[in-house]
């Protein structure tokens, strides 16, 4: 028995309309019938990673209805520290353009050597638009949860998954799956205090102090 995850909505045409989205969803959830792998093993769960900027927000009504009709369980994975998220997004964008790992783009790595190469890049954050961007990401997450409140869903934070081993058990319980001790081969790229990962840390610190996002300057987790 296994769980499978498929990438579905990276291509723009797959999320251009509700009908295009539902066609893709049908292909994902029919994998047990269409894939030869189903002849060799029973899939306990089939799912996919779907970013909020890949048509979810624009077509949420039709998607939520599909979820309810087809018994889809949604897991919202967010980060509490939106500043750390921003650093990761900027670093990933840089990697797409510059490809420091032998000319290839890697969002995730599986060795400490690769992680050290990617961690050398320290983005400079636009302090002028920082507050507005944090508010936008925060509000978008709130709206996403509200859009899908009528569906069966769970909200999970990255920091909790990293720092609390029981969190993954909660997710498996939510999916009604038999418990497995889950592990990952991924190696963390950005570690240590955020002040060591940004070019203009002093500027960012001044902008966030005294705001609702001040805690992001020190809110962290260990791994």
Q: What letter would DSSP give residue 177?
A: -
pLDDT at 187: 85
Q: Per residue in 14-23, pLDDT tens?
A: 888 999 999 9
pLDDT at 1: 39
Q: Which of 44-58, 123-137, 148-162, 192-206 has the lowest mean pLDDT?
A: 44-58
Q: Per residue in 95-110, pLDDT tens?
A: 888 888 888 888 888 8
What totals of helices (H) and strands (E) does the chain contain, helices first? 9, 4
pLDDT greater than 60 at residue 223:
no
pLDDT at 197: 92
pLDDT at 32: 58
- For residue 155, give the nearest of 83, 79, 47 by alpha carbon: 79
- In the chain, alpha helices (H): 18-29, 31-34, 60-70, 82-98, 112-119, 130-147, 158-163, 166-174, 201-208
Rounded to 10 degrees, the C-alpha dihedral 216/217/218/223 comes to 70
% of residues, the chain, pLDDT over 90:
55
């Amino acid at each position: 028995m296994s769980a499978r995850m498929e990438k579905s909505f990276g291509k723009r045409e797959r999320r251009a309309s509700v009908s295009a989205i539902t066609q893709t969803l049908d292909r994902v959830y029919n994998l047990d019938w269409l894939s030869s792998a189903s002849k060799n093993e029973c899939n306990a769960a089939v799912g996919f990673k779907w970013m909020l900027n890949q048509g979810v927000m624009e077509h949420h009504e039709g998607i939520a209805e599909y979820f309810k009709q087809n018994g889809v369980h949604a897991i919202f994975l967010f980060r509490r520290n939106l500043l750390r998220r921003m650093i990761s997004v900027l670093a990933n964008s840089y990697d797409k353009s510059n490809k420091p790992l032998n000319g290839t783009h890697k969002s995730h790595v599986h060795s400490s050597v690769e992680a050290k190469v990617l961690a050398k890049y320290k983005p400079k954050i636009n302090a002028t638009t920082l507050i507005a961007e944090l508010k936008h990401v925060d509000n978008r997450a709130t709206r996403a949860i509200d859009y899908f409140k009528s569906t069966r869903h769970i909200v999970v934070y990255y920091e909790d998954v990293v720092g609390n081993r029981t969190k993954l058990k909660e997710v498996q319980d939510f999916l009604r799956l038999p418990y497995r001790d889950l592990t990952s081969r991924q190696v963390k790229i950005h570690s240590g205090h955020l002040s060591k990962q940004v070019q203009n840390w002093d500027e960012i610190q001044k902008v966030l102090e005294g705001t609702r996002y001040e805690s992001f300057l020190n809110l962290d987790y260990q791994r």
